[in-house]
Amino acid sequence: MEHTISVTAQAERKVTDTKSVPFGKVPTEHMFMAEYKNGQWHHAQVVPFHDLTLSPLTLCLHYGQTVFEGMKAFSMEDGSINVFRMDKHYDRFNKSLHRMCMPPVPEKLFINAIKELVSLDADWVPKDADGSLYIRPFMIATEDRIGVKVSDEYLFMVVCSPAFQYYTKPLRVKIETTFVRSAAGGTGAAKCGGNYGGAFYPTSLAREAGYDQVLWTDSVHNEFIEESGTMNAMFVIDNVLITPELSGTILDGVTRDSLLAIAREKGINVEVRQISYNELIDAFEAGRQVEAFGAGTAAVVAPIATIAIGHKEYNCYTEPDALMFRLQKELYDIRRGIVPDTHGWNNII
């Protein structure tokens, strides 16, 4: 299979003040695209960013056969550019594609697409310590047909956008016990568009009630924590880092995985297991110190200040010495080359 990527660069568009723009609103100058047809990938190319033309019959518009990834490139201390944990993102992308009956992307094509694109748009990688270039690989089903079927044609694309803090203040979240994000055997572990669209309604109700996000619970007992909005959920109770296991209903988060590895390395007690909201109530009521945070590529570490469980609100520990901030700092420092990358997570391009 041929994976040569043609590059058509456009005259430089000035990098504007991207810090004040909401997450994901400003694309960089170029994008990558490749078409899948007759069982093969064709026309792999980096081109100036432009709108797509799609037939109203296009399958993805009707049946949600879409998958995406979210990864980041960082400006290193020495001026080089680092795309963080490309292999893990690639692996998850293909697992999601498999679940959604979509063709795998060859590893070389995925890696080279990102390398070519990020190198060409390198000026868009923020130099600020809290900035990064958000990289969004995605695939959509493009066959023109409204009959319900697995598409025979696809478009694999990568777009980028400078990113800063996703959440600007500690979150207020609500334990969700009415609606569920996913159930055993469903698509909860896949990064497919429908998982996010389906979360909008419960999240909008939570917002109306004064919360930023929901903390999803399991579909059987509505009791065990799953994940939160765009992030995995993590807790620190009496210095033990606790996060739900990968049961198949939550996303195998790359930030989750990185924070767990860093915590273990630092000798912190880590428990990957079910955690119920009743356990949280017991901890709060007993006056124990509870940290809660979301972990995700876009959000990195998003502290949770308040958790509403039923009609009662509980306050979490968010002081600067909280464990979550120490883990976050280590992650930042690895990604920017301030401390050694002993895991082989960095990909200097």
Give residues in contact with ligand COI (CB under 6 A).
Answer: 70, 196, 230, 296-298
Query: Smallest gap, in angstroms, from Cβ of residue 152 to ligand COI?
Result: 27
Closer CB to ligand COI, 97 or 298, in the complex: 298
Closer CB to ligand COI, 196 or 325, in the complex: 196
Closer CB to ligand COI, 24 or 170, in the complex: 24
Spell out the alpha helix ranges (H) of 199-305: 200-208, 254-265, 277-285
Cβ atoms of 140 and 154 within 8 Å: the answer is yes
**Closest to 159 (Cα-Cα) out of 255, 336, 24:** 24
Query: Smallest gap, in angstroms, from Cβ of residue 230 to ligand COI?
Result: 4
Count Cα neighbours of 341 within 13 Å in the Cβ-side half-sphere.
17
CA angle, residues 196, 291, 126, in degrees to nearest 5: 60
Query: Smallest gap, in angstroms, from Cβ of residue 70 to ligand COI?
Result: 2
* CA–CA separation, 95 and 208 (whole Å): 35
Closer CB to ligand COI, 131 or 296, in the complex: 296
- Other CB atoms within 10 Å distance of the CB of residue 10: 12
Closer CB to ligand COI, 89 or 237, in the complex: 89
Residue 74 CA from chain centroid, whole number: 16
- Other CB atoms within 10 Å distance of the CB of residue 222: 16
Query: Smallest gap, in angstroms, from Cβ of residue 56 to ligand COI?
Result: 26
Query: Smallest gap, in angstroms, from Cβ of residue 317 to ligand COI?
Result: 24
Closer CB to ligand COI, 142 or 255, in the complex: 255
Which position's Cβ is nearest ligand COI? 70
- Other CB atoms within 10 Å distance of the CB of residue 303: 20
Both structure tokens of 14:
């000035």
Closer CB to ligand COI, 231 or 280, in the complex: 231
Query: Smallest gap, in angstroms, from Cβ of residue 154 to ligand COI?
Result: 20
DSSP 103: P
Residues 6 or more apart whose CB falls under 8 angstroms from that of 28 comprise 49, 117, 121, 124, 133, 159, 160, 161, 162
What does the chain come to in residues? 349
Q: Report the amino acid identity of residue 52.
A: L
Query: Smallest gap, in angstroms, from Cβ of residue 22 to ligand COI?
Result: 12
Query: Smallest gap, in angstroms, from Cβ of residue 298 to ligand COI?
Result: 3
* CA–CA separation, 277 and 327 (whole Å): 24
Closer CB to ligand COI, 298 or 322, in the complex: 298
Query: Smallest gap, in angstroms, from Cβ of residue 251 to ligand COI?
Result: 9
Closer CB to ligand COI, 24 or 106, in the complex: 24
- Which helix (H) or strand (E) segment holds residue 90: the answer is helix 86-99
- Other CB atoms within 10 Å distance of the CB of residue 194: 15
Owner of token pair 């570490």? 301
Query: Smallest gap, in angstroms, from Cβ of residue 299 to ligand COI?
Result: 6
Owner of token pair 């795309």? 83
* CA–CA separation, 303 and 251 (whole Å): 19
